[in-house]
Protein backbone atom coordinates (compact mmCIF):
# COMPACT_ATOMS: atom_id res chain seq x y z
CA UNK A 1 0.00 0.00 0.00
CA UNK A 2 0.97 3.64 -0.29
CA UNK A 3 0.57 6.14 2.53
CA UNK A 4 1.46 9.72 3.38
CA UNK A 5 3.85 9.62 6.34
CA UNK A 6 4.91 12.42 8.68
CA UNK A 7 8.26 11.79 10.40
CA UNK A 8 8.74 15.31 11.80
CA UNK A 9 6.30 18.10 12.60
CA UNK A 10 6.40 21.15 10.39
CA UNK A 11 5.20 22.51 7.06
CA UNK A 12 3.42 20.75 4.20
CA UNK A 13 6.74 19.41 2.92
CA UNK A 14 6.66 16.93 5.82
CA UNK A 15 3.88 15.02 4.01
CA UNK A 16 5.77 12.30 2.16
CA UNK A 17 4.42 9.43 0.11
CA UNK A 18 5.88 6.07 1.12
CA UNK A 19 5.36 2.38 0.40
CA UNK A 20 4.16 0.50 3.44
CA UNK A 21 3.24 -3.13 4.12
CA UNK A 22 -0.45 -3.78 3.68
CA UNK A 23 -1.94 -3.96 7.20
CA UNK A 24 -4.12 -6.74 8.57
CA UNK A 25 -7.24 -6.13 10.63
CA UNK A 26 -7.22 -7.35 14.21
CA UNK A 27 -10.21 -8.43 16.29
CA UNK A 28 -13.09 -6.00 15.86
CA UNK A 29 -11.36 -4.23 12.97
CA UNK A 30 -11.74 -3.98 9.20
CA UNK A 31 -9.33 -3.27 6.38
CA UNK A 32 -10.68 -0.77 3.86
CA UNK A 33 -9.50 0.05 0.35
CA UNK A 34 -9.82 3.83 0.37
CA UNK A 35 -11.61 5.50 -2.55
CA UNK A 36 -11.50 9.07 -1.22
CA UNK A 37 -10.13 10.76 1.90
CA UNK A 38 -11.27 14.08 3.32
CA UNK A 39 -8.82 16.88 4.06
CA UNK A 40 -9.53 18.79 7.28
CA UNK A 41 -7.87 21.49 9.36
CA UNK A 42 -7.45 18.76 11.96
CA UNK A 43 -4.90 17.25 9.57
CA UNK A 44 -3.00 20.54 9.51
CA UNK A 45 -3.00 20.54 13.31
CA UNK A 46 -1.70 16.98 13.26
CA UNK A 47 1.08 17.91 10.86
CA UNK A 48 2.33 20.91 12.86
CA UNK A 49 2.20 19.06 16.18
CA UNK A 50 -0.93 20.39 17.91
CA UNK A 51 -2.06 16.79 18.44
CA UNK A 52 1.27 15.30 19.48
CA UNK A 53 -0.23 14.11 22.76
CA UNK A 54 -2.90 12.19 20.85
CA UNK A 55 -0.85 10.53 18.09
CA UNK A 56 2.92 9.95 18.03
CA UNK A 57 5.41 10.19 15.17
CA UNK A 58 5.88 8.71 12.67
CA UNK A 59 2.25 8.79 11.60
CA UNK A 60 -0.10 8.75 8.66
CA UNK A 61 -2.52 11.68 8.99
CA UNK A 62 -6.15 11.86 7.95
CA UNK A 63 -9.19 10.67 9.86
CA UNK A 64 -12.01 10.72 7.29
CA UNK A 65 -12.84 8.87 4.14
CA UNK A 66 -14.87 6.33 2.23
CA UNK A 67 -14.12 3.06 0.50
CA UNK A 68 -14.80 -0.65 0.28
CA UNK A 69 -14.03 -3.30 2.89
CA UNK A 70 -11.19 -5.60 1.81
CA UNK A 71 -10.95 -7.81 4.91
CA UNK A 72 -12.58 -8.19 8.32
CA UNK A 73 -11.06 -9.20 11.63
CA UNK A 74 -12.30 -11.74 14.14
CA UNK A 75 -15.61 -10.92 15.75
CA UNK A 76 -16.85 -8.62 13.00
CA UNK A 77 -20.25 -9.94 11.96
CA UNK A 78 -22.23 -6.94 10.70
CA UNK A 79 -19.77 -5.87 7.98
CA UNK A 80 -18.47 -7.96 5.10
CA UNK A 81 -15.84 -7.91 2.37
CA UNK A 82 -17.11 -5.72 -0.46
CA UNK A 83 -19.32 -3.50 1.70
CA UNK A 84 -19.18 0.23 0.94
CA UNK A 85 -18.48 2.30 4.06
CA UNK A 86 -17.51 5.76 5.26
CA UNK A 87 -15.98 7.06 8.48
CA UNK A 88 -15.35 10.36 10.22
CA UNK A 89 -12.62 9.40 12.70
CA UNK A 90 -10.09 6.72 11.78
CA UNK A 91 -6.40 7.64 11.87
CA UNK A 92 -4.31 6.86 8.82
CA UNK A 93 -6.80 7.82 6.12
CA UNK A 94 -4.18 9.50 3.89
CA UNK A 95 -3.41 6.15 2.30
CA UNK A 96 -4.64 3.57 -0.15
CA UNK A 97 -5.74 1.32 2.74
CA UNK A 98 -6.60 1.79 6.39
CA UNK A 99 -7.31 -0.52 9.32
CA UNK A 100 -9.99 0.88 11.60
CA UNK A 101 -12.48 -0.26 14.23
CA UNK A 102 -15.57 -1.80 12.66
CA UNK A 103 -17.63 0.34 15.05
CA UNK A 104 -16.37 3.48 13.26
CA UNK A 105 -17.70 2.34 9.87
CA UNK A 106 -20.98 3.73 8.50
CA UNK A 107 -22.55 1.62 5.72
CA UNK A 108 -23.14 3.65 2.58
CA UNK A 109 -26.48 3.60 0.75
CA UNK A 110 -26.18 2.73 -2.92
CA UNK A 111 -27.09 6.27 -4.00
CA UNK A 112 -24.33 7.98 -1.96
CA UNK A 113 -21.05 7.87 -3.88
CA UNK A 114 -17.63 7.65 -2.28
CA UNK A 115 -16.64 11.28 -2.91
CA UNK A 116 -19.89 12.58 -1.46
CA UNK A 117 -19.46 10.43 1.63
CA UNK A 118 -15.83 11.45 2.14
CA UNK A 119 -16.80 15.11 1.80
CA UNK A 120 -19.73 14.78 4.18
CA UNK A 121 -18.78 12.80 7.26
CA UNK A 122 -16.52 14.99 9.42
CA UNK A 123 -17.83 18.39 8.40
CA UNK A 124 -21.46 17.29 8.12
CA UNK A 125 -21.51 15.73 11.58
CA UNK A 126 -19.67 18.79 12.94
CA UNK A 127 -22.26 21.17 11.48
CA UNK A 128 -25.08 18.95 12.72
CA UNK A 129 -23.60 19.12 16.22
CA UNK A 130 -23.31 22.90 16.06
CA UNK A 131 -26.92 23.61 15.08
CA UNK A 132 -28.53 21.08 17.41
CA UNK A 133 -26.69 20.35 20.64
CA UNK A 134 -24.20 23.24 20.80
CA UNK A 135 -26.94 25.77 20.07
CA UNK A 136 -30.36 24.59 18.95
CA UNK A 137 -31.14 27.01 16.12
CA UNK A 138 -34.77 28.17 16.10
CA UNK A 139 -36.83 30.01 13.47
CA UNK A 140 -35.92 33.70 13.60
CA UNK A 141 -32.47 33.21 15.16
CA UNK A 142 -29.54 35.03 13.59
CA UNK A 143 -26.23 33.20 13.27
CA UNK A 144 -22.76 34.43 12.37
CA UNK A 145 -20.84 31.90 10.26
CA UNK A 146 -17.12 32.38 9.75
CA UNK A 147 -15.42 30.94 6.65
CA UNK A 148 -18.89 30.79 5.13
CA UNK A 149 -17.55 29.52 1.79
CA UNK A 150 -15.56 26.71 3.40
CA UNK A 151 -16.67 23.13 3.92
CA UNK A 152 -18.16 23.51 7.41
CA UNK A 153 -19.42 27.02 6.66
CA UNK A 154 -21.41 25.94 3.61
CA UNK A 155 -23.00 23.05 5.50
CA UNK A 156 -23.74 25.22 8.52
CA UNK A 157 -25.42 27.84 6.37
CA UNK A 158 -27.68 25.30 4.69
CA UNK A 159 -28.63 23.67 7.99
CA UNK A 160 -29.36 27.00 9.68
CA UNK A 161 -31.60 28.04 6.78
CA UNK A 162 -33.31 24.65 6.93
CA UNK A 163 -34.15 25.39 10.58
CA UNK A 164 -35.53 28.84 9.77
CA UNK A 165 -32.56 30.95 10.87
CA UNK A 166 -30.85 33.95 9.33
CA UNK A 167 -27.18 33.69 8.33
CA UNK A 168 -24.58 36.45 8.32
CA UNK A 169 -21.53 34.94 6.66
CA UNK A 170 -17.93 36.13 6.81
CA UNK A 171 -15.54 35.36 3.93
CA UNK A 172 -11.95 36.35 3.26
CA UNK A 173 -12.32 37.63 -0.32
CA UNK A 174 -14.94 39.06 -2.66
CA UNK A 175 -14.83 36.05 -4.99
CA UNK A 176 -16.29 33.89 -2.21
CA UNK A 177 -19.38 36.06 -1.63
CA UNK A 178 -21.47 34.42 -4.34
CA UNK A 179 -20.60 30.94 -3.09
CA UNK A 180 -21.81 31.77 0.42
CA UNK A 181 -24.95 33.41 -0.96
CA UNK A 182 -25.71 30.39 -3.13
CA UNK A 183 -25.72 28.27 0.03
CA UNK A 184 -28.33 30.59 1.54
CA UNK A 185 -26.40 33.26 3.45
CA UNK A 186 -28.62 36.33 3.89
CA UNK A 187 -25.74 38.80 4.18
CA UNK A 188 -22.05 38.25 3.53
CA UNK A 189 -19.20 40.33 4.95
CA UNK A 190 -15.78 40.40 3.30
CA UNK A 191 -13.42 40.89 6.20
CA UNK A 192 -9.98 40.36 7.62
CA UNK A 193 -9.86 38.97 11.16
CA UNK A 194 -11.20 41.33 13.78
CA UNK A 195 -12.89 43.78 11.40
CA UNK A 196 -16.35 42.22 11.09
CA UNK A 197 -18.00 42.84 14.48
CA UNK A 198 -19.12 46.42 13.81
CA UNK A 199 -20.81 45.37 10.57
CA UNK A 200 -22.54 42.45 12.29
CA UNK A 201 -23.91 44.81 14.92
CA UNK A 202 -25.10 47.19 12.22
CA UNK A 203 -26.87 44.39 10.37
CA UNK A 204 -28.60 43.31 13.58
CA UNK A 205 -29.67 46.77 14.68
CA UNK A 206 -27.10 46.80 17.47
CA UNK A 207 -28.45 43.62 19.05
CA UNK A 208 -25.84 41.11 17.89
CA UNK A 209 -26.32 37.49 16.85
CA UNK A 210 -27.80 34.61 18.83
CA UNK A 211 -24.87 32.35 17.95
CA UNK A 212 -21.48 32.71 16.29
CA UNK A 213 -19.71 29.74 14.69
CA UNK A 214 -16.02 30.60 14.67
CA UNK A 215 -13.50 28.17 13.19
CA UNK A 216 -11.15 30.89 11.99
CA UNK A 217 -8.78 30.74 14.96
CA UNK A 218 -7.62 33.00 17.74
CA UNK A 219 -7.52 36.16 15.61
CA UNK A 220 -11.33 36.28 15.38
CA UNK A 221 -12.25 35.16 18.91
CA UNK A 222 -12.83 38.58 20.46
CA UNK A 223 -14.55 39.91 17.37
CA UNK A 224 -17.01 37.03 17.59
CA UNK A 225 -17.59 37.76 21.26
CA UNK A 226 -18.30 41.40 20.40
CA UNK A 227 -20.78 40.32 17.71
CA UNK A 228 -22.95 38.35 20.16
CA UNK A 229 -26.13 39.61 21.76
CA UNK A 230 -26.78 39.27 25.49
CA UNK A 231 -26.65 35.58 26.45
CA UNK A 232 -25.43 34.75 22.94
CA UNK A 233 -23.41 31.59 22.30
CA UNK A 234 -19.96 31.34 20.73
CA UNK A 235 -19.19 27.93 19.22
CA UNK A 236 -15.41 28.22 18.94
CA UNK A 237 -13.67 25.47 17.03
CA UNK A 238 -10.56 27.19 15.74
CA UNK A 239 -8.06 25.69 18.17
CA UNK A 240 -6.17 23.76 15.50
CA UNK A 241 -5.61 26.85 13.37
CA UNK A 242 -4.08 29.13 15.99
CA UNK A 243 -3.96 28.69 19.75
CA UNK A 244 -6.03 31.11 21.81
CA UNK A 245 -4.07 32.68 24.69
CA UNK A 246 -5.54 32.16 28.16
CA UNK A 247 -8.53 34.39 28.82
CA UNK A 248 -9.98 35.90 31.97
CA UNK A 249 -13.64 34.89 32.00
CA UNK A 250 -14.53 38.11 33.80
CA UNK A 251 -13.67 39.88 30.53
CA UNK A 252 -16.56 38.14 28.74
CA UNK A 253 -19.37 40.67 28.20
CA UNK A 254 -23.16 40.42 28.02
CA UNK A 255 -23.36 37.14 29.99
CA UNK A 256 -22.36 35.27 26.84
CA UNK A 257 -21.70 31.53 26.74
CA UNK A 258 -18.58 30.05 25.15
CA UNK A 259 -18.36 26.45 23.95
CA UNK A 260 -15.57 24.37 22.44
CA UNK A 261 -17.75 21.77 20.68
CA UNK A 262 -16.17 18.43 19.73
CA UNK A 263 -17.95 16.27 17.17
CA UNK A 264 -17.24 13.08 19.15
CA UNK A 265 -19.70 14.35 21.77
CA UNK A 266 -22.40 14.36 19.07
CA UNK A 267 -21.93 10.68 18.21
CA UNK A 268 -20.97 9.10 21.53
CA UNK A 269 -22.58 5.79 20.60
CA UNK A 270 -22.67 3.74 17.42
CA UNK A 271 -26.44 4.18 17.35
CA UNK A 272 -26.02 7.97 17.32
CA UNK A 273 -23.31 7.76 14.64
CA UNK A 274 -25.52 5.71 12.34
CA UNK A 275 -28.66 7.77 12.97
CA UNK A 276 -27.00 11.12 12.43
CA UNK A 277 -25.00 9.96 9.42
CA UNK A 278 -28.14 8.58 7.79
CA UNK A 279 -29.91 11.87 8.45
CA UNK A 280 -27.12 13.61 6.52
CA UNK A 281 -27.56 11.12 3.68
CA UNK A 282 -31.30 11.90 3.67
CA UNK A 283 -30.61 15.63 3.41
CA UNK A 284 -28.25 15.07 0.49
CA UNK A 285 -30.83 12.80 -1.11
CA UNK A 286 -33.70 15.32 -0.81
CA UNK A 287 -31.52 18.21 -1.99
CA UNK A 288 -31.64 20.25 1.22
CA UNK A 289 -27.89 19.74 1.73
CA UNK A 290 -25.66 20.30 -1.28
CA UNK A 291 -21.94 19.59 -1.14
CA UNK A 292 -19.26 21.62 -2.85
CA UNK A 293 -16.03 19.78 -3.57
CA UNK A 294 -13.50 22.53 -3.95
CA UNK A 295 -10.53 20.42 -4.95
CA UNK A 296 -9.53 16.88 -5.81
CA UNK A 297 -5.87 15.92 -5.38
CA UNK A 298 -4.01 12.68 -6.00
CA UNK A 299 -2.74 11.13 -2.79
CA UNK A 300 0.81 11.96 -3.86
CA UNK A 301 -0.10 15.68 -3.82
CA UNK A 302 -1.17 15.93 -0.19
CA UNK A 303 1.38 18.72 0.05
CA UNK A 304 -0.56 20.76 -2.51
CA UNK A 305 -3.85 20.14 -0.73
CA UNK A 306 -2.43 21.41 2.57
CA UNK A 307 -0.83 24.44 0.97
CA UNK A 308 -4.07 25.39 -0.74
CA UNK A 309 -6.12 24.84 2.43
CA UNK A 310 -3.84 27.00 4.56
CA UNK A 311 -3.70 29.75 1.93
CA UNK A 312 -7.47 30.32 2.28
CA UNK A 313 -7.73 30.15 -1.50
CA UNK A 314 -10.08 27.17 -1.40
CA UNK A 315 -13.83 26.82 -1.04
CA UNK A 316 -15.85 23.79 -0.04
CA UNK A 317 -14.30 20.41 0.71
CA UNK A 318 -10.89 19.12 -0.41
CA UNK A 319 -10.40 15.43 -1.17
CA UNK A 320 -7.41 13.16 -1.67
CA UNK A 321 -7.98 10.41 -4.23
CA UNK A 322 -5.64 7.39 -3.87
Tell me if 118 sits within 8 A of 64, measured CB to CB: yes
Which pTM does this prediction carry?
0.93
Sketch the domain layout of the chain as residue ranges.
2-121+290-321, 139-260
In terms of Cα–Cα distance, which of 297, 308, 260, 307 is closest to 38? Answer: 297
State in Å, rounded, how far the first CA of the chain is from the last one.
10
DSSP 33: E
Q: 192: Cβ–Cβ under 8 A, 6 or more apart, which residues?
A: 172
**Is residue 221 pLDDT above 90, yes or no?**
yes
Q: Residue 85 and residue 201: Cα distance in Å, rounded?
A: 44
CA distances from 271 to 107, 182, 234, 276 (A): 13, 33, 28, 9
- pLDDT tens for 99-149 read 999 999 999 999 999 999 999 999 999 999 999 999 999 999 999 999 999
Position 158 scores a pLDDT of 98
CATH architecture entry for 2-121+290-321: Alpha-Beta Complex (3.90)
Average pLDDT, the chain: 95
If pLDDT is split at 50, 70 and 90, which confidence band does 226 have? Answer: very high
- pLDDT tens for 149-193 read 999 999 999 999 999 999 999 999 999 999 999 999 999 999 876
Name the CATH superfamily, with its identifier, for domain 139-260. Answer: NAD(P)-binding Rossmann-like Domain (3.40.50.720)
Position 193 scores a pLDDT of 67
Mean pLDDT for 49-74 is 94
Mean pLDDT for 94-98 is 98
Amino acid sequence: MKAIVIEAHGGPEQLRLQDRPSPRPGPGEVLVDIAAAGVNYMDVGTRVGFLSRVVALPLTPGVEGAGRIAAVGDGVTDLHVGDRVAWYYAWGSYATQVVAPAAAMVPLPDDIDFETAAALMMQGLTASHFVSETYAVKPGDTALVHAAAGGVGLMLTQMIKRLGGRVIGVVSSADKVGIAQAAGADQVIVSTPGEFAAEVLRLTGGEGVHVAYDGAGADTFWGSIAALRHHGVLAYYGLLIKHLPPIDITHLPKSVLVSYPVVLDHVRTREALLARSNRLFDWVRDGSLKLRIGGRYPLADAVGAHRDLESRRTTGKLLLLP
